[in-house]
């Protein structure tokens, strides 16, 4: 297996394709964080007074909080005063009203990333909100969506145009003091997406947000809020990339989902932040709080994530199953290579009767990557006939990487049915030889086997993105194995 | 000469298994290799296919005039060597048809050809699925996952029929098959037989040779070809068992070392 190990190395060394920097003038706040900075951010966005209060209250909570220490990740202490909390590409006046007013350099950036912002060039049936550093630069297909009553805009715009909706739901799933990073985000979040699907509406397009970090020494703190009113449906996808830099950058997002009675939200992530180099230099610290509330009966929230990027991923997309018969799902592929560390999983909290949850987690470790699944299934006393099925599979490529599984179970109702399966395997030499005997190169054989390993998760992604995810995995694996 | 093996010695994990194999296979021929369990039949098949950790310690193998031992596993496959595995491997999440397509196109790429258009590929696959009397739904199941022993073997023959190798090595494809499945496998093999191709049938029993009549039969014992003959040798083995052959082999081994 010696050649396999060296091929693995090759595959792992593969370059990061989204690593370029856009040379654009920015309006960037100097590093540092205090109440003044929070106020400036709020003022820059011309926010209603309640928002500033909300932010300041979060900031005061944050100052009293500690970084969580329980995750299986290691990193040097983060100096929160060394980070700039706001950076926006300079644009005339109030920001672009039409595409012609968007800086061509930004359009080019998104084109290069394969996300054209011109509607006629867009992927069929997908509307995009493009967030560059701290601000949203363009949301496509707004008119088309408005005809269906769907609101899809940046959260800054939502605060101007629908302040009552934002006020009602913001922080209702992830309270400002939920955890250290969520509190920080609540204080300084700059932009993100806002979605509202009215009663009974099936959103006519896939919605997606593309996050790009460009500026140096800035953090990205985006906030996403999705509300699916009774009987509605929406499928939403986020993608993320950043330039290759030797310094680590902080990305601390909060995503809140609310599904009312009979509503369904499908939230997919293809996370490809810069992972850092082979020696572990640079890369994004991805500390993210994602949580959905199945508020109404018969509602459903489904998280699907493909995590290939970031130096560190700390992320547990969760579902609060409040309504009766509510369904929560978590499908995850997490790949760690180089020196990447991922501590990711989910929390399924069963509160209503007959609630069901499914967890499928596929961890792939290569190089010196460390991959941890951490999941909690909690069944409250009042939740009769709750069911959970969890399956956590780990695949190791090479012998310098690691996989860890921490499934936590808290069951307070005797009618609960909970099933957990876990496997850890190495890519088998038999499988490789079999594929190579059929003519596949070792690299292609590995990619085929790994893709097979991830199949159950990939098939949950919207079609266009499943192909993207598969390609991304190929690129990430190239030189990683074999 | 399609395949020329001279004095081949090979070790697995440092343990010598093949101890001087000589074998010549011409295009158009079918050779049967028989021998008791542990005699080195699968080892020979794996060495020819280029499995890692099967270390050739001396001797030579030439295939179509080239030094086979210098070629990478996938190059050998792309040049037309096909191994039907004694224990076909399961690949969860990868559909049979996906692997087939990857295999067909890997070879085409090696030959400098474009990918086979989807329509043509499907046509080819459907035709061969009929040949091995497999249900089409098998194409969409994960490679060998949950297949019965017989289905796995038939799946190997399907892959062989689609890849149309120059040199096919079938490692105990007959074992564990009922008579109907055996006939289907034999049909697949006989359909492929032709003046351009050669086959090596590794088998423990002579039963398959009733359906696929070999030109030559060789008996392997303790990593050596101890006897060669025609079809009648297989029948003799069936009658007398392997005991006498092994005894002969031991005597030879003693003579060599002594
Ligand atoms: N991976 C291996 N490691 C060590 N010994 C092996 C390995 N594979 C096969 N052998 C040994 O090599 C010998 C020949 O095995 P094999 O070629 O499988 O025989 P056959 O196919 O004729 O039954 C046996 O003694 C077997 O135990
Ligand atoms: Mg054998």
The pLDDT value given to residue B225: 94
The span from the CA of B183 to the CA of A107, in Å, is 64
The span from the CA of A265 to the CA of A288, in Å, is 19
The span from the CA of B88 to the CA of B138, in Å, is 15
Closest-CA residue of B relative to A1 is: B52
Annotate B111-142 with b (16+ C-beta within 10 A) or e (fewer): eeeeebeeeebeebbeebbebbebeeebbebb
The pLDDT value given to residue A314: 93
- CB of B77 within 8 Å of a chain A CB? The answer is yes
The span from the CA of A190 to the CA of A223, in Å, is 8
Answer left, alpha or beta for residue B228, where phi above 0 means left and psi between -120 and 50 means alpha: beta
Residue whose tokens read 């990619």: A447
CB contact under 8 A, A433 and B82: no
Q: A220 or B47: which carries more pLDDT confidence? A: B47
pLDDT at A12 over 50: no
CB contact under 8 A, B106 and A434: no
DSSP string spanning chain B? --EEEEEEEEEETTEEEEEEEEEEE-TT-EEEEE--TTSSHHHHHHHHHT-TTEEEEEEEEEETTEEGGGS-HHHHHHTTEEEE-SSPPPEEEEEHHHHHHHHHHHHHHHTTPPPPPHHHHHHHHHHHHHHTT--GGGGGSEETTT--HHHHHHHHHHHHHHH--SEEEEESTTTT--HHHHHHHHHHHHHH--TT-EEEEE-SSSGGGGTS--SEEEEEETTEEEEEE-HHHHHHHHHH-SHHHHHHHHHHHHHHH-
Burial class (CB in 10 A: 0-12, 13-18, 19+), A424: middle
The pLDDT value given to residue A19: 74
Mean pLDDT of the A168-172 span: 98
The count of other CB atoms within 10 Å of the CB of residue B194 is: 11
The span from the CA of A27 to the CA of A282, in Å, is 23
CB contact under 8 A, B52 and A453: no
The span from the CA of A248 to the CA of A311, in Å, is 8
Smallest Cβ–Cβ distance between B51 and the set A431, A433, A456 belongs to A433
- Say if A312 falls within a structural domain: yes
- Say if A1 falls within a structural domain: no
- CB of B131 within 8 Å of a chain A CB? The answer is no
How far apart, in Å, do the first and last CA atoms of chain B sit?
Answer: 35
- CB of B110 within 8 Å of a chain A CB? The answer is yes
Q: How far is the CA of B17 from the centre of ligand 2 (A)?
A: 12
Smallest Cβ–Cβ distance between A429 and the set B52, B76, B107 belongs to B52
The size of the A-B interface in CB pairs under 8 A is 82
The count of other CB atoms within 10 Å of the CB of residue A280 is: 17
Query: At A218, is the pLDDT very low, low, confident or very high (cuts 50, 70, 90)?
Result: confident
The pLDDT value given to residue A7: 44
Mutate to test the pocket of ligand 1, among B17, B169, B242 (most ligand atoms within 8 A of CB): B17
CB contact under 8 A, B91 and A455: no
pLDDT at A481 over 80: no
Residue A43 Cα distances to A37, A38, A39, angstroms: 10, 9, 6
H or E element that contains A28: strand A26-28
- CB of A120 within 8 Å of a chain B CB? The answer is no
Domain interval for residue A446: 8-477
pLDDT at A112 over 80: no
> What ipTM was reported for this prediction?
0.96
Q: A366 or A65: which carries more pLDDT confidence? A: A65
H or E element that contains A154: strand A151-154
- Say if A2 falls within a structural domain: no
Residue to test with chain B: of A437, A440, A452, most B Cβ within 10 A: A437
- Say if A212 falls within a structural domain: yes
CB contact under 8 A, A437 and B83: yes
Mean pLDDT of the A442-463 span: 89
Closest-CA residue of A relative to B45 is: A437
- Say if A370 falls within a structural domain: yes
The pLDDT value given to residue A384: 98
- Residues A293-331: tens digit of each pLDDT: 999 999 999 999 999 888 899 999 999 999 999 999 999
The pLDDT value given to residue A85: 92
- Say if A482 falls within a structural domain: no
Mean pLDDT of the A95-100 span: 64
CB contact under 8 A, A455 and B94: yes
- Which residues of chain B fall short of a pLDDT of 70? 256-258
Ligand 1 atom closest to Cα of residue B171: 21
Rounded to 5 degrees, what angle do the CA atoms A137, A142, A144 make? 150
**Coil/strand/helix, residue A456:** helix
Total number of domains in chain A: 1
Query: At A479, is the pLDDT very low, low, confident or very high (cuts 50, 70, 90)?
Result: low
Mutate to test the pocket of ligand 1, among B14, B15, B38, B45 (most ligand atoms within 8 A of CB): B38
Mean pLDDT of the A252-276 span: 93
Q: How far is the CA of B86 from the centre of ligand 2 (A)?
A: 6
A44 phi/psi in degrees, rounded to 5 = -55, -35
The span from the CA of B102 to the CA of B44, in Å, is 26
Q: How far is the CA of B224 from the centre of ligand 1 (A)?
A: 13
- Say if A3 falls within a structural domain: no
């Amino acid at each position: 297996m010696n050649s396999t190990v060296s091929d693995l190395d090759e595959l792992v060394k593969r370059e990061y394709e989204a690593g370029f920097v856009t040379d654009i003038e920015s309006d960037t706040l100097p590093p540092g964080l205090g109440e003044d900075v929070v106020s400036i951010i709020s003022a820059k966005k011309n926010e209603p007074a309640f928002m500033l209060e909300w932010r300041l209250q979060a900031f005061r909570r944050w100052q009293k909080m500690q970084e969580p220490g329980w995750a299986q990740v290691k990193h040097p202490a983060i100096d929160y005063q060394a980070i700039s909390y706001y950076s926006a590409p300079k644009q005339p006046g109030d920001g672009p009203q039409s595409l012609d007013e968007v800086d061509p350099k930004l359009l080019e950036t998104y084109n290069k990333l394969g996300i054209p912002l011109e509607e006629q060039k867009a992927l069929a049936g997908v509307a995009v909100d493009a967030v560059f550093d701290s601000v949203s630069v363009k949301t496509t297909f707004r008119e088309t969506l408005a005809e269906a009553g769907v609101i899809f805009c940046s959260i800054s715009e939502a605060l101007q145009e629908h302040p009552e909706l934002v006020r009602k739901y913001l922080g209702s799933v992830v309270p400002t003091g939920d955890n250290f990073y969520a509190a920080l985000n609540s204080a300084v979040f700059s932009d993100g997406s806002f979605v509202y699907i009215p009663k009974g509406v099936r959103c006519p397009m896939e919605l997606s947000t593309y996050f790009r970090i460009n500026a140096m020494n800035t953090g990205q703190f985006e906030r996403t809020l999705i509300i699916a009113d009774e009987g509605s449906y929406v499928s939403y996808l986020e993608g993320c990339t950043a330039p290759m830099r030797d310094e680590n950058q902080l990305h601390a997002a909060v995503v809140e989902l609310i599904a009312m009675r009979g509503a369904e939200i499908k939230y997919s992530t293809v996370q490809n932040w810069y992972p850092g180099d082979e020696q572990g230099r640079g890369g994004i610290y991805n500390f993210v709080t994602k949580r959905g509330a199945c508020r109404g009966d018969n509602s459903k929230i489904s998280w699907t994530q493909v995590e290939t990027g970031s130096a560190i991923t700390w992320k547990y997309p969760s579902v609060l199953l409040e309504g009766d018969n509510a369904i929560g799902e978590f499908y995850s592929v997490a790949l760690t290579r180089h020196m990447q560390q991922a501590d990711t999983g989910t929390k399924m909290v069963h509160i209503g009767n007959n609630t069901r949850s499914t967890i499928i987690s596929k961890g792939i470790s290569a190089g010196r990557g460390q991959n941890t699944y951490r999941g909690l299934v909690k069944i409250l006393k009042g939740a009769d006939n709750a069911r959970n099925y969890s399956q956590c599979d780990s695949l190791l490529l090479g012998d310098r990487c690691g996989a860890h599984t921490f499934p936590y179970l808290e069951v307070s109702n005797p009618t609960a049915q909970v099933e957990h399966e876990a496997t850890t395997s190495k890519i088998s030499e038999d499988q490789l030889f079999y594929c190579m005997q059929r003519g596949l190169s070792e690299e292609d054989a590995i990619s085929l086997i790994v893709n097979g390993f991830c199949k159950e998760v990939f098939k949950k992604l919207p079609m266009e993105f499943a192909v993207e995810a598969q390609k991304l995995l190929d690129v990430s694996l190239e030189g990683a194995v074999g | 000469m399609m395949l020329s093996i001279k004095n081949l010695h090979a070790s697995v994990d440092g343990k010598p298994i093949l101890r001087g194999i000589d074998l010549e296979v011409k295009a158009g021929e079918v050779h049967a290799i028989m021998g008791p369990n542990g005699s080195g039949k699968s080892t020979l098949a794996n060495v020819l296919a280029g499995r890692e950790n099967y270390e050739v310690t001396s001797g030579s193998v030439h295939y179509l005039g080239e030094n086979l031992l210098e070629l990478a596993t996938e190059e050998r496959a792309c040049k037309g060597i096909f191994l039907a595995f004694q224990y076909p491997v399961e690949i969860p999440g990868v559909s049979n048809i996906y692997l087939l397509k990857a295999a067909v196109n890997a070879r085409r790429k090696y030959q400098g050809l474009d990918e086979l258009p989807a329509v043509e590929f499907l046509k080819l696959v459907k035709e061969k699925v009929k040949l091995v009397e497999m249900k089409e739904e098998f194409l969409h199941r994960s490679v060998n996952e949950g297949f019965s022993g017989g289905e796995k073997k038939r799946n190997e023959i399907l892959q062989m029929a689609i890849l149309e190798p120059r040199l096919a090595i079938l490692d105990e494809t007959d074992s564990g098959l009922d008579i109907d499945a055996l006939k289907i496998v034999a049909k697949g093999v006989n359909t492929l037989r032709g003046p351009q191709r050669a086959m090596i049938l590794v088998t423990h029993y002579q039963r398959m040779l009733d359906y696929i009549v070999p030109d030559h039969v060789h008996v392997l014992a303790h990593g050596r070809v101890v006897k060669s003959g025609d079809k009648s040798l297989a029948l003799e083995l069936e009658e007398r068992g392997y005991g006498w052959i092994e005894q002969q082999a031991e005597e030879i081994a003693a003579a060599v070392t002594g």
